[in-house]
Each structure stands twice: as structure tokens, then as C-alpha cells.
Amino acid sequence: MAPHADSPVDDGESLPAPPRPAMSANPPRLLIIGAGSRGNAYARATAESTNGIIVAVAEPVAYKRKQLGEKYIWGKAGPTDGQGFEDWRAFLKWELERRAKASRGEEVPAGVDGAFICVLDEQHKEVVVGLAPLGLHIMCEKPLATTLDDCVSIYKSLLPNLPNTTPSRIFSIGHVLRYSPHNMLLRKLLLEDKIIGEILSINHTEPVGWWHFTHSYVRGNWRRESTTAPSLLTKSCHDIDVLLWLLCSPPPNSTRPAHIPTTVTSVGSLQYFNKTRKPTAAGNATNCLSCPIETYCKYSAKKIYLGSELKGLGSGNTHWPVHIVVPEIEECISMGGPSAGEAAIMKRLEENYTQDTPGSEIAAKNWFGRCVYEADNDVCDEQVVTMSWDNDPLPKVNDDNEKALAGRGAKTAVFHMVAHTKKICDRYTNIYGSDGEIYADSTTITVEDFNTGTKKIYRPFIAKGGHGGGDDGLARQFILAVDAVKNHGSTVEEAQRVHVGCSLEEVIRSHAMVFAAEQARLGKKVLDFPEWWAENVEASLAKF
């Protein structure tokens, strides 16, 4: 985006890091359910950026449970009663027994106030609904669930007295992009400062990354719709949520209703990662380790997981994605040296299947050495979603058309998810308004003012951790809300609004938009979103 040739440039502001909240005398106590990448991300964020403490972990893989527990909970001393559980059901049983003992006046360990749910996407519903009787505050990793019916079931379990929507506990979803310093500033500039006037359109791109996509969506957990969900949900529900946060949700502390999208449509497909794109020279190879062109194929699993050019073991990296292939990689290296780590990865990469392997066995695990053109993946590697809004003015006061239509004018948003990019999840956005335009990447926000011809560049604080500081921001705000209820006399409704800043209805709406977009893509249609919402969400809620 080029400025006017003679535009003065203001280098803008470099914003400071938000302070860590002060600890209360009785800080919130949190449980991590699922000690994978996301569970560890929230455990780290809690330890470094919040006023809460992680006191327990539930994880079926003993090594993962031990690793998180030693790092964030019990150190080298080992777990005590109530600190480590094999799964969420074991925790539920223990907690019910603990409460029963407490009611009889017996001395019991302290319980937990809330939980981070970081299990596989398809397990979210059973955990959220299963823990509902405990009344814990919940932060659930995104997506909320892998089907619309399950999302609605969760919504109903959290608000059992519908149509009364007053929440009885804090609930947050892992839409971490809302909580990065970058996006929080962007929303303030757009909705509160009105820095480019009325928003007219947005073009937003998520570049997944050419090898990242193969790791997660061709060889990894999220490669099949039947076992997880469409990639628009598993990868890009973040982005749909951010667009609705900017264009649909009212500004902070506003009582104005949401500006609901009018239409949604989508196009996309699995364009590249399939047998039709397989190089002829690869022959019948189905695994990188037996492929004649492995040494010069950019998708070589050896290059990605063992090499030094990307984030393989050869670069000294033992974290993502290496530890996804071998979770115990650090222990392997500490016991047997680098060669032991390489051998453990090679053993995983050698795993393969044939045409005689049962489909259930293939679906049950990841195949990180599998040829990317011969895998069992079926999710889109390219997709575009288009949403539109009509003019929807509020009732006029003193015939003031401008105020009635403020933030509620006609507009359009286009989202593009693309796999084949050098950037890895470094999103970028063009926003066009009545008085200017913005280009926002993952580090800066550049504002062009049509009225003055000036250009201003903002540089928000880039926090460590994932998603531009969004992981830390979400954990901080969720735990602040729990603390406000536990220690400072706040109502759940107030703490949800002030600290989490996202209602349950917003959570359901952004997920519903993803499911509507997928229905539009598969049916090659433009859907009327309010009508679709009434038929698919409101009607489902009425059945409970």
C-alpha cells in the first residue's frame, strides 16, 4: 500500500507490554485438561502472564502428564493427591468425592476454580458438558466443537435456563487473536477512534505456510473432516471470529445490538495435496523414506523434521513440530544424545500403511512420513469466504441519520485461507473506510488518512508466546475474570463483559458462520445468514 508521493509519515507509537496482574491473597486455581501443545501453551501463559496458578493436570499420556506437571505444578517432588489425573473423568470422580468429604466435615485438599480444556477438538463437547455439574469456570480451546449440533449442545449446557442468557460461570473460547496487543489496538482504532471513518470492506488473509499445512492438515491431526472437521473450522475459525469481532460486535461498553451479516458464501477445495499432483518420478512410493526423489522434494519429512533449514531437529529445535512427532524427544536426547533423538524420529517417519490396512487404523494416528500426495487427507487447502452486511440503522434520534447508521452501514468482508505461502500464520489485512485505509500485518498497523494525506504507522507490543501474544492475553483475561468473581465481588456477567469481552452468543455466532460458509461452499450457494441462523441454531435450541 503506497502513500501519496508527498505524504508526511508519522512513525507512530510503539506500545508497551501490558503489566502482569497483581496476585490476590487467594489466587484462582486452574486445571489443565490435555497436556499437548495448547495445554502447555496455556500453562506457560498462566505461569508468566496471569494472577492464577496451575494446580492440576489431566492427561492420558503419562509422559505428557509428567512433563507438564514437573514444569508447572509439582517439580521433581512428584504429584500429590489431586494434582495428576489420567483423564477428565478421573478428575470428575475425584472432585465429586472431594466435595462429598468436605460436606461431611472431613479435611480435603483445595479444589480448582476453573479449567483449560485442551483435548482433541472432537472431545470438547463431552468434556464441557461432562464437567457442567461442577460449575467450574471454563476456557475451551478452539474450535468449540466439530459440529453445529455439538456447539448448540454446549451452549445449552452453559445456559440451561434459556431464553435467560445470564451466565452462571465464566466461559472463554480459544480465539486468541482477539487478545493480541496488535488486534486489540486495531479494533480500538477502527471502532472507538474511527480512524478511517466507516468501515466499508475488509480483505483478510491467513497464510498457513507450505510445509506447516502438510504437517497439520495432510499428515497430522486435522487432515480429515470425518475425524476432525473442515480446515475452515480447525484452522481458520480464529479469522472468521476476528472479522465478526470487527464488523459485527458492538464497541466495548456499548449497548448497541450486534450488526448481523446478511449473506455468506464460500468457494474452496483440496487443490494440491492429492494423487493427481504427485511427481511422476516418485513412482509408487507412499513414504518419504522409500521415495526415489526424497532428497530434492521440498515436502520430504526428513527435511522438515530432521533438517536444519526449517524447524527440524537439525536446527536445534525440540519443540513444535518436532515434539508432535516424538513427544518424548527431549528425554530421548538427554538419555542417548542427538543420535537417539534422530533414531526416534526416523522410527516414526518409517511408519506407513498399505491398501490392506483397515481404515480405522489409518484414521487412528498420524503418519508424519507419508507422501503428501498419497495421504488420506481431504480438507481444503484453499478457501475463500465472503460475508456481506446491509444497511441496518438504529431508530433515529432527532433525525440524525449519521448516528443511526454509525457502525451499521453496508459492508463486505473477504477471507482467504491459503496453504502455499512462505509466511506461516502471519496474517495480513487490508481495511477500507470512508476516510482512509489500513494495512495491518502481524507487526504493524499502517493508516492512510484521505483527509490529510498523512500516513501513520503503529507498532504494537509483540508479546512472546503464541499468536502475537494472544495466548498470554487470553489466559490473562480469563483468569482476571475468574479472580474478579472469586475475590472481588464481581458478578459473572460483569466479569465476562469486562475481562473476557466476548459473550456466549458471540462464540456461537462465529462458529455458526463457519458452518454456514461450509454449507454454502458445498452447495455452491449464497446463504441468507439470518434465515440460516433461525433454521439451524434457534430451531435447534428450541428442541432442548
pLDDT at 422 over 80: yes
Mean pLDDT for 159-177 is: 91
- pLDDT tens digits, residue range 268-300? 999 999 999 999 999 999 999 999 999 999 999
Angle subtended by helix axes 124-131 and 148-158, to nearest 10: 10
Q: Phi/psi of residue 282, each to 5°?
A: -75, -15
Angstrom distances, CA of residue 254 to CA of 133, 179, 192, 524: 33, 19, 10, 37
Instruction: List % helix, strand, coil for the chain (3-state, nearest 5).
Output: 40, 15, 40
User: If one looks up domain 198-272+378-433+504-543 in CATH, what number appears?
Assistant: 3.30.360.10
CA distances from 86 to 29, 63, 90, 330 (A): 19, 11, 6, 22
Q: What does the pLDDT read at residue 463?
A: 67
pTM: 0.92
| CA dist., res. 87 & res. 59, Å (int) | 5
Q: In what order do the strands lie in the sheet with 84-85?
A: 84-85, 53-58, 29-33, 114-117, 137-140, 171-173
Q: 437: part of which helix (H) or strand (E)? A: strand 436-440
Per the CB < 8 A criterion, the answer to whether 383 and 417 are in contact is yes
Q: Distance (Å, rounded) from C-alpha 69 to C-alpha 55? A: 9
What distance in Å separates the CA atoms of residue 221 and residue 206, rounded to the nearest whole number? 19
Query: What DSSP designation does 459 have?
Result: B
pLDDT at 45 over 60: yes
Is residue 5's pLDDT more than 50?
no
Query: In the structure grid, which three cell numbers stand for residue 76, read together?
Result: 521433581
Q: Which residue has the cell 432527532?
A: 398
Mean pLDDT of 80-99: 97
What is the rounded distance in angstroms from the CA atom of residue 104 to the CA atom of residue 133? 19
Cell of 446: 499502517
- pLDDT, tens digit (0-9, with 9 covering 90-100), for 315-359: 999 999 999 999 999 999 999 999 999 999 999 999 999 999 999
Chain centroid to Cα 9, Å, comes to 35
Contact 462, 472 (CB under 8 A): no
The predicted pLDDT at position 2 comes to 42
Confidence bin at 52 (pLDDT 50/70/90): very high
Strand partners, 57: 32, 84
Domain positions in the chain: 29-176+478-500, 198-272+378-433+504-543, 275-363
C-alpha cell at 346: 526416523
Q: Between vectors from CA 505 to CA 502 and to CA 511, what angle results, nearest 5°?
A: 95
- 511 pLDDT above the threshold of 90: yes
Residue owning grid cell 536426547: 333
Comparing 30 with 543, the larger pLDDT belongs to 30
Please choose, from the candidates 156, 186, 185, 225, the residue with its C-alpha nearest in 3D space to the C-alpha of residue 504.
156
Specify the DSSP element, H or E, that contains 72.
Answer: helix 62-72
What average pLDDT does range 199-218 have in this prediction? 97
DSSP code for 425: S
Q: What is d(CA 242, CA 306) in angstroms, rounded to the nearest whole number?
A: 35
Residue at 255: amino acid letter: T
- DSSP E strands in 277-398: the ranges are 382-389
Confidence of residue 182 (pLDDT cuts 50, 70, 90): very high
Please give the share of the chain, as a percent, with pLDDT higher than 70. Answer: 95
pLDDT on residue 160: 87
pLDDT at 123: 95
What is the reported pLDDT for 165?
A: 85
pLDDT of the residue at 232:
97
Mean pLDDT calculated for residue range 391-412: 86
- Picking from 193, 154, 220, the residue whose alpha carbon sits closest to that of residue 456 is 193
Average pLDDT over residues 144-161: 93
Nearest to 469 by CA among 12, 16, 13, 11: 16
| Contact present, 533 and 284 (Cβ < 8 Å) | no
Q: Give the amino acid at 68.
A: L
User: Average of pLDDT values for 400-421?
Assistant: 92
Give me the phi and psi of 385, to 5 degrees please: -120, 135
Q: pLDDT-based confidence at 4, cuts 50/70/90?
A: very low
Annotation: CATH topology of 29-176+478-500: Rossmann fold (3.40.50)
Model confidence at 7: pLDDT above 80: no
Between residues 227 and 90, which one has the greater pLDDT?
90
How high does pLDDT run on average in the chain? 93
Confidence of residue 18 (pLDDT cuts 50, 70, 90): confident
